[in-house]
Structure formats: C-alpha cells, structure tokens
Amino acid sequence: MKDIPEAQALQQSFLERGYVASPALSTALRLVEALGKPLLLEGPAGVGKTEAAKTLAAVLGTPLIRLQCYEGLDAQSALYEWNYARQLLHIRAAEALNQDIDDAALYSEKFLMRRPLLQAISQPTPPVLLIDEVDRADDAFEAFLLELLAEWQVTVPELGTLQAVSRPHVLLTSNRSRELSDALRRRCLYQWVEYPTRAAELEIVQARLPGISQNLARQVTDAVHTLRELPLSKPPGVAETLDWAQALVVLHRDHLDLDALRTTLGTVLKLREDWQLAQPVLEKQVSR
Amino acid sequence: MGRPDVVGDLAAHLPDFAARLRLSHGFLLGPGEVADALRALGAVNILNMHEVRDAWRAIFSTSPEQGRLFDAEFDAFFRFRLLDYPPLPPLLPQIPGGPPQEATAPAGEAQEGQKTTSPRNRGGEQLEAEALPGTAEGQAHDDPDAPETDLTLLARLSPHAGQGGAVTGTPADLPPLLRAARQLVQAVQLGHARRLVPRPTGRKLDARRTVRRAARTAGDPVTLHWLGRPRHAPRFLIVLDGSRSMGEDAQRLLHFAYALQLTARRVEVYAFSTDLVRLTPRLRALKPGQELTLPELGAAWGGGTRIGENLLKLARQERARVGRETAVFILSDGLDTGEPELVRRALRDLSRRAGLTVWLSPLAGVPNYQPIQRAVAAALPSLDALLPAASTADLLALPRRLKNS
C-alpha cells in the first residue's frame, strides 16, 4: 500500500488509469489521507464518482471494499451477521453428542460473517472503503455512520468492541436523492463532481479507448455535449459516452454518420421521449 | 514572496476568512474546520493558490452552492487581502445578528430587485392574462392611466427583466396556514412503504430474527417474529411560481410551503421565475419563530415565467427522489411565456413517477374560471387535481377538495 501522492502526481496516476480527474478532485483525494477524513462526492449520475474510488484503490494498490446503500439497510447488514444456520447445526451436533453448549463458542469469530464495514476496519493495511449512494440509506443508518466514522470502532455485543486495525480511506457518494444531514456533511470533506468539459471528455474517451479514431472521438463528445444542453429527462453521463464510443468502435466505424447514429443512439439515450427529442437535433448536427 | 511568508499570511487571515463565510453566507464552520484548513496547508503546494483554494473548498463547503460562494469569496478575500486591497462587499445580505460589514450592496440595486406586490409589477404575462375572460388576473393589469416607467417597459420587453429580490416578513395568518398544512399532511396518504420492517404482526415471517431467537431455545422457534410494511409518510415536493404575475399570492403560498415544512418531515420546496432555485435548505435554516427571510433569489423570484423549462429542470433534478410516495404540488397561476410542450413533457414525467400531482392556482378560485392558459391546458391531462389557492380559506379547504377530486 502506497501513501496518497501529491495532488498533481495523483492526477497523473489517475490519468494513466484512464480517469481524468480535475485538480479539485485530486486535491480533495489527497486530503483524505492527510486529514484522515472521509470524502463525500456528490454530482449527477454517471460523472464517475464510483469510478474515482475504484481508481484510487488501483493507484494505491489496496483493496476496494464497497458498501452499496439502499432503503432499509441497517447497521447489522452493513457490519456483521451471525451465521445462524451454522450456529443451529452446532447446537444440534452438541445435543446429539450430549455436549454442553458453550455460549462463548456459539458467538465466536467462527460464526461471525463480516460485512463491508467490519471488513474494512479489519484489514491490516488501509483499504479504500466506498459507501456508495449513501443518500439511499435511511436517517438511522446515516446516524450510525457518524459514530463509525468518528470512532473507527464498532461494538458487537457478544464479542465486545472491535477497534479498527487500520483506518480506511473512505469515499461516500451521493446523487442527492435525499438531503444528507449537516452532521454527516461536516464530518466529511466535500467535492462536487460535474460533467467534464468537452476537452476533458475527449481526453477521457481517448484514454479509455486508445484505438478510437480522433474524428470519431470528437464527434461522439460533441454529440454528447449537445445532448446535455437539451432538456432531457436523463442526460447522458460519462459512462454513456464511453458506451457509445465503444459501440461504434465495435461496429468498425471511424466516424459518426446518420446510419451509425440511428443504430447506436440507444447506448446513450435510455428513454423514448428523450430519443424523440434528441434524434432530429443530432441528425442535423451529424449531417453538417 | 517566500514560502514562510505565504504560510504566515494564509494562516493569519484564515480565521477572518472563516468568520466571513460564517457570518455572510451562513457556512457552518467551527474551530475544527479551521484547524483542518491549517493542517491541509501541509498537504498541498501552498505556492499554488488554486490548490490551496481546492483544498479549503473541500473542507469548508458542503454543497455545490456553497462551493460557488466559497470560490468567489476566496478570490475576493485572498487575492486582494494579500496585496492589501480592501475586501469586496458580501455576496449575500448579512444574516441577522452578524457584525456590520465594511460595505453592502448599493441600496438602489436592492430596491430594484425587491419583490413588490403592486399591480404594476404583475404585468409580465399580461398579454396572456388578457385572454382570460372572467378572471381577476385579466383585470389586474397596469393602470392604463398611470405613466409607464422604464421598469414597466423593461418588464414588458423581457421575461428576465425586473427579476430578483429578497423575501421577508411573516404574515398574520401563519397559524391558519399551519393548520392547513397539518390537515393536508394528514389527508395525503400514499399507501404503505415498500420495505419490510420488524412489526408485532405482519404477513411475512421474519426468518432471521425468528431463527436467531430460536438459538436461545435450543433451536426451537418458540417465538415467531414478523415483518410488515409501515405507513408511508408522504414526501411533499412543492414548486412555487415566484414570477411577477403571482403578486401577493406568491408570498402567501411561500408561507404555506414554509408551514408545510414546519409540519412535515419530508418537504422539498423550489421556487422559479425564469430560473429554478431550491429553497429547502434556506427554509430549514430558519429557527422556530424566526421571521421568514430569504436573501436575494435572483432569477427565481419576481421575474418572468418559464414554467416548462423550470419544471423540466425540476423533474431532472428530482428524478431519483420522486416516487409513489411523493406528492407534487405546483403552485402557479399558469401564466407562462414559455413553450407549453415543455410543460406537457415535464408534467408527464413527474406524474408518471409521483403518487399525486396537484396544481394549485390562485386563478382557479375565480368564478367561471376556465383552465385555458396554455401551460395549465398542457398540464391538465397529467394532473390528479387542479384546485384553487387564492386565499387561506382555499388552503384550509384543500384536504376536502383533494378527497372529492
């Protein structure tokens, strides 16, 4: 596991892995280690928030542990569970052999199933812990996170308090589907991730798809930026741009024409209404 | 300037800068954040002010809006402070209780931006209003005998003219508005939650808890545990038209939205005129009993009306949040200078996702009202109800009318 490099070096390392990070994002990621604080990444869907965590883990050469949040997620599902089936088998076996059932044995590490958060604080070297879409979880879970992120320890009633072996690099992502509490925001560094500029997105496409023709990459990027200016219900993210470019490469296209546009528009627009609105605009742009 | 001087200057001015953010813009900053900002200087290249700004933005801001404010303040404060220039005036009016600042926005500008409720300022959509026979709005135009000021002409020529302004004041009828809000919250029921939670009784066996409990009784499931669906507390999404044509109604409906937020837990409030702004954090920041004061709302208040564009923007922003438990309330007179097709698209999108979509119009209470405004007519097929909201009595009657609609 390496230390997080200086902001500029980090930006370069990200670029080598096909992720074009803004200077602001690189600096924020640098501070994750320097200040030992979690980083909250917010922004529209598809701008690369999750990918930033994956790339950070790759840059640091450390495992990525991901907790996908959802409505109804409780602390126990995120931390640990007891393997009830194995415990019952243990009880039955003990009964069959006329042995006493020892509580300590029944609630030992042998029957403990570590979930992402407990896994993350049990690692010998700091992993990258991604708490994805934290806004989808309930208030109660958010409050639980406050305690974990402050103390880096959890209490398992049957085992006692488990202190973090190493402090993970924590990244939280949110699509703003729910307003997060001020308390959580204050405990985190904050970075808003916006859609990349035209030039940056062109760079991303070329970095991710080295074989793509310059002309095609530019046409796809231009078209996506045109789409983002339209009042679409679901504007395309960077992932859709890459999907579209890759689809065109797979179809051996070296430029975007009307036929290619009509065939592959489904990789970038996922709603019929959006398609109806955008197709005439794009066809006009491609025909020029 | 050598490195130690830069560090010294930045560190020396940091508490002042943090205080300015706190007092001028309401940033929640304490000694912890300032200490973090000082520590961050050791992790960045302090000769690169952009990097310092990026680092401090990550520490001080908690939303994109705050991030933009931070950038402007940082540039104004440090670029000039380090060169002994006077500081720029604050971007927002001072919050009550804060110390007086060196300079404030010119009084003339503030007055021009202030939302006024005189009939003169209700002329933004007057051409459309004239086409509404039998409506109060149709008769509420500028006095033809009054001299036309430059402001009136600007308002007629551009949908953006005359925009902006602050909102202040608590109405005398806040208690009835609170009562209306409470009744509405009780009346709107959008079914049960999807997720299962432990309940004393339920339709589904909670296998995990049952088996876990069974471990205490040698594997025999003596006590059964159940899962059920709790009642949904509806989520309210309020979109308030703050354009000139709404006049006093905008103020009252804003107070109604505020009352709703005081009453229910999940309430999102947006305001729009030619642009859309989210009011929820500003309303939440108000203390109980504090006068409803909102700083300059820019293009979201007191200008022209772009209903379709703003509803589309809203539908996009709220896309992930609008679900079957969401009740969408659009508070607007429907007098629009934009394209009705956009309204149709936006409403179709919102109503497909939401559990309830209601349009509250101050005009709908006028006798013989016909929903012929282009925006309302476009929205009508997607609405669950179009109801009047011309007075507090209308708002009190809302639950009953919703039930009957």
Q: What does the pLDDT look like over A150-185, one tens digit per residue?
A: 888 888 888 888 888 888 999 999 987 777 888 898
Nearest CB to B40; choose among A35, A72, A273: A35
pLDDT value of residue B118: 35
How much is the pLDDT for B165? 57
What is the average per-residue pLDDT within A28-54? 91
Q: What is the pLDDT of residue B129?
A: 40
Q: Where are the beta strands (DSSP E) in chain A?
A: 39-42, 64-68, 80-82, 112-114, 128-132, 153-156, 160-163, 169-174, 189-192
Stated as kind and residue range, the H or E segment containing B277 is strand B276-278
CB contacts, 8 Å: B214 with chain A: 88
Rounded distance between C-alpha atoms, residue B115 and residue B248, angstroms: 10
Mean pLDDT, range A41-49, rounded to an integer = 89
Per-residue pLDDT tens over the stretch B44-75? 888 888 889 999 999 999 888 888 889 888 88
A219 pLDDT higher than 90? yes
Across the range B262-269, mean pLDDT stands at 85
B78 DSSP assignment: I
| Segment B225-250 mean pLDDT | 83
Name A184's Cβ contacts closer than 8 Å, sequence gap at least 6. Answer: A40, A134, A142, A145, A146
Note the pLDDT of residue B193. 66
**pLDDT category of residue A267 using cuts at 50, 70 and 90:** very high
Percent of chain B at pLDDT > 70 equals: 72
Q: Which residues of B fall within a CB distance of 8 Å from A33?
A: 43
Q: Do B215 and A190 touch (CB under 8 A)?
A: no
Q: Residue A222 above 90 pLDDT?
A: yes
Report the share of chain B in percent with pLDDT over 90: 8
User: Are A258 and A283 spatial neighbours (Cβ–Cβ below 8 Å)?
Assistant: yes
Cα–Cα dist B56/B75, whole Å:
12
Mean pLDDT of B274-279: 84
Å between A27 CA and nearest CA of chain B: 6
The answer to whether the Cβ–Cβ distance between A34 and B43 falls below 8 Å is yes
User: Phi, psi at residue B33, to the nearest 5°?
Assistant: -65, -40
Specify the pLDDT at position A127.
94
A39 CB neighbours in chain B (<8 A) are: 58
Q: What does the alpha-carbon distance between residue B74 and residue B347 come to, in Å, rounded to a whole number? A: 40
How many whole angstroms separate alpha carbon B36 and alpha carbon B100?
28
pLDDT exceeds cutoff 50 at A253: yes
Using a CB-CB cut-off of 8 Å, the residues of chain B touching A95 are: 218
Instruction: Work out the angle at residue A185's Cα, subtended by the Cα atoms of residues A180 and A189, and round it to the nearest 5 degrees.
Output: 140
Pick from B231, B278, B256: nearest CA to B331? B256
Average pLDDT in the B13-25 region? 87
* pLDDT value for A24: 93
- CA-CA distances (angstroms) from residue B243 to B253, B286, B302, B371? 12, 23, 5, 19
Q: Do B266 and A135 meet the contact criterion of CB atoms below 8 Å apart?
A: no
Lowest mean pLDDT among A214-218, B109-113, B145-149, B297-301: B109-113
Tokens 């405004």 belong to B373
Q: How far apart are CA A238 and CA B378, in angstroms?
A: 34
Name the minimum distance, in Å, from the CA of A233 to any CA of chain B.
Answer: 5
CB within 8 Å: A31 and B51: no
Nearest Cβ partner of A31 from B43, B61, B349?
B43
Quick one: tokens of B111?
């007055």
Q: Would you say residue B335 has pLDDT above 90?
A: no
In which region does residue B252 sit, left (phi positive, over 0), alpha (psi from -120 to 50) or beta (all else)? alpha
| pLDDT in the model for residue A120 | 92
Q: Residue B211: which of A23, A88, A189 has the nearest Cβ? A: A88
Tell me the DSSP string of B79-148: IHHTTTPPPPPPSSPPPTTPPPPS----HHHHHHHS---SGGGG-TTHHHHHT-TT-TGGG-S--TTSPP
A87–B197 CB contact, under 8 Å = no
Query: Mutate which of B48, B54, B63 to disrupt the A interface (most A C-beta within 10 Å)?
Result: B54
Residue B134: the pLDDT is 36
- C-beta atoms of B44 and A7 within 8 A: yes
Reported as a single tens digit per residue, the pLDDT across B348-360 is: 888 888 888 999 9
- Do residues A34 and A83 make contact, with C-beta atoms less than 8 angstroms apart? no
pLDDT at B29 over 80: yes
Whole-number Å distance between alpha carbons of B150 and B131: 25
For B363-391, what is the mean pLDDT? 86
- Segment B362-370 shows an average pLDDT of 82
Q: How far apart are CA A53 and CA A66, in angstroms?
A: 9
The mean pLDDT value for B167-182 works out to 75
Interface test with B, best of A31, A76, A182 (most B CBs within 10 A): A31
Higher pLDDT, B263 or B230: B263
- Please list every residue in chain A whose beta carbon sits closer than 8 Å to the beta carbon of residue B57: 24, 190
Per-residue pLDDT of A94-110, as tens digits, reads 888 888 877 778 888 88
Average pLDDT, chain A: 88
Contact A190 B58 (CB under 8 A): yes
Nearest CB among B44, B196, B219 relative to A30 is that of B44
Q: What are phi and psi of A191, to 5 degrees?
A: -145, 125
Contact A28 B54 (CB under 8 A): yes
Of A28, A231, A232, which is closest to B309 when you measure between CB atoms? Answer: A231
Percent of chain A, pLDDT > 70?
99
Token pair for residue B384? Answer: 């669950």
CB contact under 8 A, B43 and A82: no
Contact assignment for B43 to A95 by CB distance below 8 Å = no
For residues B121 and B143, give the distance between their C-alpha atoms in angstroms, rounded to a whole number. 11
B316 to A231: CB separation less than 8 angstroms, yes or no: yes
Q: Which residues of B touch A76 (CB under 8 A)?
A: none
Contact B349 A87 (CB under 8 A): no
Give the chain B residue whose CA is nearest to the CA of A4.
Answer: B43
Q: What is the pLDDT of residue A265?
A: 92
Mutation test of the interface with chain B: which of A3, A233, A270, choosing the one with the most B Cβ atoms within 10 A? Answer: A233
- Looking at residue B365, its pLDDT comes to 78
Q: Is the pLDDT confidence value at B23 over 50?
A: yes
Task: Count how many Cα atoms sit within 13 Å of the Cα of residue A230 in the half-sphere of its side chain.
Answer: 23
pLDDT-based confidence at B91, cuts 50/70/90?
very low
Minimal C-alpha gap between A154 and chain B (Å)? 21
Which candidate from B59, B214, B218 shows the least CB-CB separation from A189?
B59
Cα B385 to Cα B374: distance, rounded to the nearest angstrom: 17
Amino acid at B76: A
Q: CA-CA distance, A24 to A29, in Å (whole number)?
A: 9
Evaluate if residue B243 carries a pLDDT over 70. Answer: yes
pLDDT surpassing 90 at residue A244? yes
| Chain A residue whose CA is closest to B195 | A72
Check: complex ipTM more than 0.90: no
Best of B62, B71, B269, B321 to disrupt the A interface (most A CBs within 10 Å) is: B62
Higher pLDDT, B123 or A263: A263
Nearest Cα to Cα of residue A131 among A114, A110, A117, A119: A117
Q: Is B265 left (phi over 0), alpha (psi -120 to 50) or beta?
A: alpha
pLDDT at B68: 85
**Gap between the Cα atoms of B239 and B257, Å rounded:** 9
pLDDT recorded at residue B194: 66
Q: Determine contact, residues B240/B331, Cβ cutoff 8 Å.
A: yes
Confidence (pLDDT) at A49: 93
**Spatial distance between the Cα atoms of A143 and B177, rounded to a whole number of angstroms:** 32
Question: Comparing A20-29, A51-60, B298-307, B327-336, which segment has the lowest mean pLDDT?
Answer: B298-307
